[in-house]
Structure 1
Amino acid sequence: MSSNIRMTRESGSVRIGPVSVFSLVIVLCLAVMAVLAVSTAQAAYTAAEKQAWFTSATYNNEQAAQSFVAEIDGALAGVRASSEVTNAEEANADVTADALVAVADVISAYEGAYIDDNQVGAEFSSDSGRTLSVVLTIRDDATYEISQWRATTQWNEAGSGEVLWSGSAQSR
């Protein structure tokens, strides 16, 4: 009888073998890898959205600056077409004055645009902090030269903060 009781006890106990422990470790590793993959995908998506926003702002500034330069080019083309340039310096001074008057009419539509001596400039900014500064130098023959075309980004130290794990809204 005692041997029957011993057999019952041994058959009733559950033994975890090495294969079961190995399977448990593999399942836990796969669960951790799944969580890491989801969080990495979310971080990559957020970074891609931010990059798209910055790129869009850059292209919008470039388009506005190109339109600005095209309008100035059109105004200067009108001055070149209407004046007959001679070799006399007075004629060149008149062409330059006419060119600056024509450019002044164009830049009045742009906020922040300016004329300083023979230079015309403007800044184009976006909400993202991207700024494009353009400066054109007006020559005596009513042509222009691009003196500056500089894109900058304003640094904002009070960023939104990086969130490693947001968790669920209920846990907060």
Structure 2
Amino acid sequence: MSKAQGSVRIGPISLFSLIILICLAVLSVLSVSTAQATFASAQKQAYYTEATYANEIAAQEFVAKLDETLIGVALSDSGDPLEAVASALPENAALEGNTVTAQFVSDGGRTLTVAIEIDGSGGYRIVEWRTSTQWNLDESSISLWSGSN
């Protein structure tokens, strides 16, 4: 008596393995795509943060020079504080009445606007310290899918 040889049926196992491989491939593509998008977003955030800090440093230096000018007028006890400030203003600042307004703009459109009110005794008060971003819609920069970079 001869025993019938059993055959190993590979069909269902192969089909299941193929489905698992396809799922893993799709997940790996999605993972790489998400990583690239996250990296691009982090780079943009770093750029805007760097621009914001550069504007903050420039504004702090501006206020320090203004403070130095006002202290010099107060110590010498001569002259009008507004005249001294008007002569020491950089090109990005303007004096209107008793308020000095300055704007610090970075390359990426980040703007820091500072307004300082000077009183008659040579003191000052910061009235505005506002950061904003200029929105430039560049049609060529809109990319929902970067493809295979």
- Indicate which of 116, 119, 125 corresponds to 1:136: 116
Q: Deviations over 1:41-99 (max 9, x none)?
A: 0000000001111111101111101000000000001111111xxxxxxxxxxx7x621
- The Cα of 1:141 is off from its aligned counterpart by 1.0
- The Cα of 1:17 is off from its aligned counterpart by 2.5
Q: Which runs of 5+ in 1 are unaligned?
A: 1-10, 84-94
1:22 match: 16
**Residues in 1 aligned to 2:12 and 2:41: alpha-carbon distance in whole angstroms:** 43
Matches within 5 A, 1:28-39: 28-39=22-33
Q: CA RMSD in A?
A: 2.0
- Indicate which of 87, 90, 95 corresponds to 1:105: 87
Q: Deviations over 1:112-150 (max 9, x none)?
A: 211111111110001111111111010111000001111
Larger Rg: 1
Matches within 5 A, 1:72-151: 72-83=66-77, 98-107=80-89, 110-151=90-131
**How does the TM-score come out when normalised to structure 1?**
0.77
Q: Secondary structure at the match of 1:145?
A: strand
Q: Deviations over 1:7-29 (max 9, x none)?
A: xxxx8xx9542222111110110
**Residues in 2 aligned to 1:145 and 1:113: alpha-carbon distance in whole angstroms:** 16
Q: Does 1:51 align with 2:45?
A: yes
The one-letter code of the counterpart of 1:51 is Q
Q: Which runs of 4+ in 1 moved over 2 A?
A: 14-17
The one-letter code of the counterpart of 2:147 is S
- The Cα of 1:105 is off from its aligned counterpart by 2.5
Give the number of equivalent residue pairs: 143
**Residues in 2 aligned to 1:75 and 1:98: alpha-carbon distance in whole angstroms:** 11
1:167 match: 148
Q: Which runs of 5+ in 2 are unaligned?
A: 1-6
Percentage identity across paired residues of the two chains: 51
The one-letter code of the counterpart of 2:143 is E
Q: Does 1:154 align with 2:148?
A: no
**How does the TM-score come out when normalised to structure 2?**
0.88
Q: Secondary structure at the match of 2:80?
A: helix
